[in-house]
Structures are given as C-alpha cells and as structure tokens.
Structure 1
Amino acid sequence: MRLSELSTESGVPIATIKFYLREGLLEPGAPVTARQSDYDDSHLRRLRLVRAMQQIGGMSIDQVRNVLFAAGESTLSRHERLGVAQYMLPPLVEAPTDDPLWDQTHGEVLALMTELGWLINDFSPSLNALTRSIVALRRLGYRDGIEHVRRYAAAMHPLAEGEYRFIDGHRDLDEAIEATVAYTVLYEPILLAVRRLAHEDVSARLHNRRPISPLDGV
C-alpha cells in the first residue's frame, strides 16, 4: 500500500507517519520509485503500537524508541522485552535522597515481595510507586499500608495470571507489547472504579441504606 493508504488504514495522519519515519520509529517502506514506497501489514502493526504507547501509555518519543529498540534486541528474552514496555509507563517515581522513612519502607516492600515469592527486580518502577504511597500514608498516621499490600497482592495475583495469559497469547511481539500497555494503563482505572463501587456498597449495607432511585420523590 502507498503512504496515503497506510494513513487511511491506520487513521494516522501522513505528516505524523513521516515524522515517525524520520525518528526511526517506523521502518522505511520498500522503494517503488524515487519518491514512492510500498508499505505492508507490519507497518500497520507498528503504527498501532507506537500510537498506543504515545496516546494510551503517555510515553515520550525517546521512551517509545527505547521500547522499540528492546523489542528488536535478539539478546533479550520475551519477558524482558515486554518488561521494558511496562517499565516505561507512568508513574515513574524517583527515590528521594536522605529520607530514612523512604529507605525503611522500601526495604519492607522488598521484604514483602520476597515473602510472597514474587520474582521482582529490585529496580522495578512499581516498587518506587508503591513505596511513595505507603510513605505518604505513614506520614498521615496510617501504619497498616504493608498489610493492605499483602491483602491486595493475594487478590491481584490471580487476575494478573489471567491477563498475562491473554497478553502472552499474542505471538506477534508488537501486538503483545500493545496489549501490555493497554492492560496496564486502561484496566487500572477499571480496578479503581470497581473498588470505589465496592466501598459504596459496603457502606450502604453497614448503614442499612438502599440505593437512591431516579424515581424517588416522583
């Protein structure tokens, strides 16, 4: 297909496709003439992936480039290639310097991961994000953050197993990376929304309240 057809099929403007080509995020098409190239389904898949990482994942061009580099690095395992994509997703939390409470909490989070038997890298960005939240709770006087993590971990791991089986079912690596981005970014708000709805339900039952109907008061 020509560039205009690639734009129509992908929904990505021609100017954006040309930018991706200049930035090396998209492989050049097969030359047809001095001014025209031919593109195929692999370009469509790559465009879909780049757009997902930018629009859904909120990644910068440099971050997208790093993920694509890892995807093409034959010395990395599939696990490592998918991991790079997840590690580039926000929030990217930097560990503060000279903060004893942070250091203590981070150590407790790592110890919990070891206790649970989870195979987690010490430099996983999610460890810093988790540490930051627990530190904030502790500074407000809430001391049971680690125990909450333990309970959440027990509930989350079976969900993660099912989701990763779906992700790993995509044998094409670009599609698997896109699924990783989508499951990480798009499903997290769903988890939070369901938790809030559960809180609403529990509170209503504790206080013997029924939901308000649109017909109430009519």
Structure 2
Amino acid sequence: MQLKELSEQTGVSAASIKYYLREGLLPAGESVHATRAQYSDRHVSRLRLIQALRKVAGLNIEQIRNLLQLADCGAPRLELLAAVQRTVLGLDAVSTDRGDIRTEAGDAVVRLRNWPDVPSDARNALNAHLSLMESLGVPVPVELLDAYSKALDDIGSLDISATTAPEDVNQLILTAAVGMHLHSRLVLKLLALAQASHAIRRYEPGT
C-alpha cells in the first residue's frame, strides 16, 4: 500500500506518518520510486502501537522510541515487559542512585507471597513508597501488607496472562502497555468504590 492508503487504513495523517518515519519510530517502506514507497501490514501494526502508546498510555516520543528500540533489537520478553511496566506505570521516576532499595516490609511481602527474591523496578518503587510512609509516621503493618498483596497477587497473575499472550512484538507491547495502564487504573477505581461503600455503611446506617 502507498502512504495515502496507510493513512486511510490507520487513521493517522500522512504528516504524522512522515514524522514517525523521520524520528525512526516507523521503519522505512520498500522503495519503488525516488519519491514513492510501499508499506505493509507491519507498518499498520506499528502505527497502531505508536498511537495507542501516545493517546492511551500517554507516553512521549522519547519513551516510545526507547521501547521500540528494545523491541527492534530483539530484547528478551522479560526485559521488554519490565521496560513497558517501568515506563507506563512511571516506575522510572524512582531514584536508584543508591542502588537497589530494601525495606523490612518489602522483604516481608516478597516472602509472604513467595515472589522471586530478585531486584526490579517494581520492587524498588514499592520499597521507596514504604520508606516514605514510614518517614511520614504511617507505617504499614505486616498484616495489612499480607491482605493487600494476597488480593493483588491474583490480579497481577490475571493481568500478565491477559496482556502478554501475543507473539507479535508490536501486539505484545500494545496489549501489555495499554493493559497495564488501564488495569492499574481500574484497580484504583474499584478500590475507591470499595472505600466509599464501606464509609457509607459505617456513617449512614441503613443504606
């Protein structure tokens, strides 16, 4: 297909497609003329991924470029998924200048759930948050961590199963990124409703 057809099929303007080509987010088409190129389903898949990362997950061009470079370099699936999670959930905002962050509460929850005892951005982010809560005088008892992590362990397992099945790397990133973004917000909305419902029961008896 030509540029016009690619634009019509994906709903992405020709100007945006040319921009993505210049930025290296979209691979060049097959040249058939000095000023003309042919595009394939691979370009359709990549464009849909770029649009979803921008419009749904809210990523900027540099963040998208970093993820696509990992994919195009053939990064292992675990490394790619870790990068997607780090970027989409903002885990890269946690400073790791001190190396891996450890807390007693964080170590305890890993043992409670029998999760792999290995460093990760997610673990650093949790430990940084636990450290912040401790510094603010809001420590988290092990019993609460046990209850929270037990519920979220099931959710995490379902999320990974649902969002990482595709073999195509573009589709993998798309489902993982959009899934992580939307599912994490769904969990927060459900938690908010649960909290509101318990507050109503407590403070408005009979409802």
Instruction: Please indicate, yes or no, whether the TM-score normalized by the shorter chain is above 0.5.
Output: yes
The aligned residue for residue 150 of structure 2 is 154
Q: How does 1:17-32 map to 2 (within 5 A)?
A: 17-32=17-32
Per-residue deviation at 1:104?
A: 6.1
Query: Corresponding residue for 1:58?
Result: 58
Matches within 5 A, 1:1-218: 1-74=1-74, 76-91=75-90, 92-95=92-95, 105=103, 108-119=105-116, 121-124=118-121, 126-144=122-140, 147-207=143-203, 208-210=205-207
- Tell me, in whole angstroms, the C-alpha distance in 1 between the residues paired with 2:183 and 2:123: 19
Identify which range, 188-197 or 87-96, moves more after superposition.
87-96
Any conservation in 1 of the 2:159–2:183 contact (CA below 8 Å)?
A: no
TM-score, structure 2 as length reference:
0.84
**CA distance 1:23–1:114, shift in 2 (3 Å):** farther
Q: For each residue in 1:13-60, what CA deviation from the matched residue of structure 2 results, as whole angstroms up to 9, or x when unmatched?
A: 211111110111111111222111111111011011112222323333
Q: 2:129 and 2:102 mapped to 1: Cα distance?
A: 13
- The question of whether the paired residues in 1 share the 8 Å contact of 2:6 and 2:44 is answered with yes
Unaligned runs of 5+ in 1: 211-218
Gap change, CA 1:206 and 1:56, over 3 Å in 2: same
Letter in 2 for 1:85: V
Q: Deviations over 1:112-140 (max 9, x none)?
A: 3245322365241x334323432332233
Tell me what 1:214 maps to: none
- Deviation of 1:180 (Å): 0.8
Q: Distance in 2 between matches of 1:116 and 1:86?
A: 20
**2-side partners of 1:120 and 1:12: how far apart?**
44
Looking at structure 1, the residues matched to 124 and 55 of structure 2 have their Cα atoms a distance apart, in angstroms, of 24
**Equivalent pair of 1:30/1:38 in contact (CA under 8 Å):** yes
Question: Residues 196 and 94 of structure 1: is their aligned pair in 2 closer, same or farther, counting only changes over 3 Å?
Answer: closer
One-letter code of the match for 1:113?
Answer: V
For residues 39 and 188 of structure 1, the distance between their equivalents in structure 2, rounded to whole angstroms, comes to 35
In our comparison, the structure showing a higher alpha carbon Rg is: 1
Structure 1's 72 and 161: CA in aligned 2 closer, same or farther, altered over 3 A?
Answer: same
